[in-house]
Amino acid sequence: MSRELIGYIENSKELLQEALHQSLQKLLIPEQLKQSMLYSINAGGKRLRPILLMASYDAYANNNKKVLSSCLAVEMIHTYSLIHDDLPAMDNDDYRRGKPTNHKVFDESTAILAGDALLTYSFEIIAEDPLLNDTQKVEIIRLLSACGGPTGMVGGQILDMEAEKKSATLEELERIHTLKTGELIRFAIYTGAYLANASKEQLNYLTDFAYYLGLIFQVQDDILDVTGDEKKLGKRVGSDQENEKSTYPKLLGIGGAMKQKEIYVEKAKNALEKANAEDSYLMALTDYFSNRDY
Amino acid sequence: MSRELIGYIENSKELLQEALHQSLQKLLIPEQLKQSMLYSINAGGKRLRPILLMASYDAYANNNKKVLSSCLAVEMIHTYSLIHDDLPAMDNDDYRRGKPTNHKVFDESTAILAGDALLTYSFEIIAEDPLLNDTQKVEIIRLLSACGGPTGMVGGQILDMEAEKKSATLEELERIHTLKTGELIRFAIYTGAYLANASKEQLNYLTDFAYYLGLIFQVQDDILDVTGDEKKLGKRVGSDQENEKSTYPKLLGIGGAMKQKEIYVEKAKNALEKANAEDSYLMALTDYFSNRDY
């Protein structure tokens, strides 16, 4: 990974961390609720979605202050989904990113409500942003709700749960991940370029790019669950196999999964070129997420 | 209750039922998720919030088609909050409106996701409404997220849970209910009048009205838990006392609670007059909700 890309990611993460913390800290809400929301937001993570959103804007324009509210919103929605996913009734995970999950630190009811609060607040953040006009706000909110709701991420989570009970085909697997992970990535990529006034054609190619990037991300996730380092990942490996979960390595073998990832990488880069974004950080980020070890 | 008001409520409920059902039925989403969302939406209920929203519009203008999306959104948010409230980790209720709760019919994880889906989708419904302009959409979304999120309903739910562990004062009780129930009622009353182009002054008085109406609703809820008929209510009575919950009857006695309700009713009607809405259905609805037996 180039030193430039490392700097870009580190700077973005720092900026995001500060903005995320501030946007929750300033809320006049019950302390227990605030602490629970802050706990999961501050737990770190890759900040994949907001960094992609920034990089997508930076591919077409300068001065990306306009994207900050969308970055916060998508990270809050991602975070709420993790809190609910970890609940005993869902995946029943005690650790996330190497730290106890929200419901282990607080309690289940607080975790449920903290998730609900982050989800609801994400829309307020966009609606209140003084840097966006009303048309932009509506377009972003429309896409965020479509990508985060029943036609998007939540739909993917239901399918993912159902798939645990049977063995899925490669096609079904792609559909699950496209909804569960891919739709918020699509939101991020689209919104950044949209706010940078990318053309309709460019936005279409970026939608293709986002589709493949989401799959790359997921294949690598599956691969790391087999070959990854628990310390770097901050979570147990091998849990997919234990849960008899349908994964790329299970369907294709590790070699086959790696090969499939390379196919997606090529298609993603191809789409980026067509979107005239071949010199942007999106290109380097594609390799970065394809080869990440955490 | 006048025959006219009964007709108004029945007509509104029928129209809402059809629109709610359609808006979910048309979604291309996993079947299990759709059934779970539909189950709770179709479980009926008073439709208090959307009826108030319509009545608030009708107080100032004719032809209330413009409010339908806001009506659906607020009812979906209310419904999601009930689904999450009923979960084992929260109130652990097996029955709601005389029917098994969502997680009893489906399962806990589906119920959590159905709630998340209804919440997220409610914003999409507003953002997609062709009858509203962008400024209206943003104003409505801004208020809906503020009233439904951590500064509103979700904040109230946390306070309500905390209050179960100690005995609350009348002031604390009012704060809990204003957030937990009152804020979505405020959204309904404000949004109806806003879309009917009520003046700023009228909107301010209506905000006062909504505040007292929310409290009336809650006092009556508490009274019914002592004196109500289980069959009419579709839920067990006496649960507040069992749970040693702070309620108006507990703090003031039944007579004191009734008296307190009358004070709120007078203040509510006073605010309605100042908002020039004394001849609207809002006036009759105030008495209706104050005296309801279910």
The nearest alpha carbon in chain A to B128 belongs to A142
Query: What does pLDDT average to over chain A?
Result: 94
Interface test with A, best of B40, B120, B133 (most A CBs within 10 A): B120
Asked if B128's CB is within 8 angstroms of A107's CB, the reply is no
The nearest alpha carbon in chain B to A140 belongs to B127
Of residues B34, B109, B149, nearest to A121 (C-beta): B149
Q: Which chain A residues are closer than 8 Å to B113 by Cβ? A: 84, 154, 157-158
Query: CA-CA distance, A39 to A100, in Å (whole number)?
Result: 10
Interface test with B, best of A109, A118, A122, A159 (most B CBs within 10 A): A109
Of residues A108, A113, A134, nearest to B135 (C-beta): A134
**Residue B183 contacts by C-beta under 8 Å, 6 or more apart in sequence?**
B146, B147, B148, B152, B153, B156, B214
Average pLDDT, integer, range A209-224: 94
Confidence of residue A1 (pLDDT cuts 50, 70, 90): low
Per-residue pLDDT for B82 more than 90?
Answer: yes
Q: Which chain B residues are closer than 8 Å to A183 by Cβ? A: none
Q: Which chain A residues are closer than 8 Å to B87 by Cβ? A: 89, 109, 112
Per-residue pLDDT for A243 more than 90?
Answer: no
Asked if B123's CB is within 8 angstroms of A108's CB, the reply is no
Domain extent at residue B85: 3-291
Long-range (24+ apart) CB contacts under 8 A made by B39-46 are: B39/B102, B39/B105, B39/B106, B39/B114, B40/B79, B40/B82, B40/B83, B40/B102, B40/B114, B40/B118, B41/B75, B41/B76, B41/B79, B41/B118, B42/B17, B43/B96, B43/B97, B43/B99, B44/B17, B44/B97, B45/B79, B45/B97, B46/B292, B46/B294
Of residues B107, B134, B162, nearest to A138 (C-beta): B134
Confidence of residue A123 (pLDDT cuts 50, 70, 90): very high
Work out the percent of chain B whose per-residue pLDDT is above 90. 83
Per-residue pLDDT for A244 more than 80?
Answer: no
Per-residue pLDDT for B224 more than 70?
Answer: yes
Of residues A127, A137, A162, nearest to B32 (C-beta): A162
pLDDT for A187: 98
Would you call A80 exposed, middle or buried from its count of C-beta atoms within 10 A (0-12, 13-18, 19+)?
A: buried
pLDDT for B1: 66
> Residue B104's domain is classified under what CATH number?
1.10.600.10
Nearest to B67 by CA among B140, B142, B2: B140
For chains A and B, CB pairs below 8 A equal 158
Over residues B23-81, the pLDDT tens digits come to 999 999 999 999 999 999 999 888 999 999 999 999 999 999 999 999 999 999 999 99
**CA of B117 to nearest chain A CA: how many angstroms apart?**
5
pLDDT for A40: 97
What are the C-alpha distances in Å from A211 to residues A177, A200, B75, B77, B166? 10, 17, 33, 30, 51
Asked if B119's CB is within 8 angstroms of A120's CB, the reply is yes
More confident residue, B230 or A41: A41
Helix (H) or strand (E) holding B100, with range, is strand B99-100
The nearest alpha carbon in chain A to B147 belongs to A120
Of residues A27, A124, A145, nearest to B127 (C-beta): A145
Average pLDDT, integer, range B146-170: 92
Over residues A171-195, the pLDDT tens digits come to 999 999 999 999 999 999 999 999 9
Nearest to A141 by CA among A222, A63, A77: A77
Q: Where on the phi/psi map is residue B170: left (φ > 0), alpha (ψ -120 to 50), or beta?
A: alpha
The nearest alpha carbon in chain B to A86 belongs to B109
Confidence of residue A201 (pLDDT cuts 50, 70, 90): very high
Number of domains in chain B: 1
The DSSP code sequence of B244-255 is T---HHHHHHHH
Of residues B27, B149, B154, nearest to A150 (C-beta): B27
The nearest alpha carbon in chain A to B34 belongs to A150
Asked if A135's CB is within 8 angstroms of B145's CB, the reply is no
The nearest alpha carbon in chain A to B125 belongs to A142
Question: ipTM above 0.90?
Answer: yes
Work out the percent of chain A whose per-residue pLDDT is above 90. 83
Over residues A62-100, the pLDDT tens digits come to 999 999 999 999 999 999 999 999 999 998 989 988 899
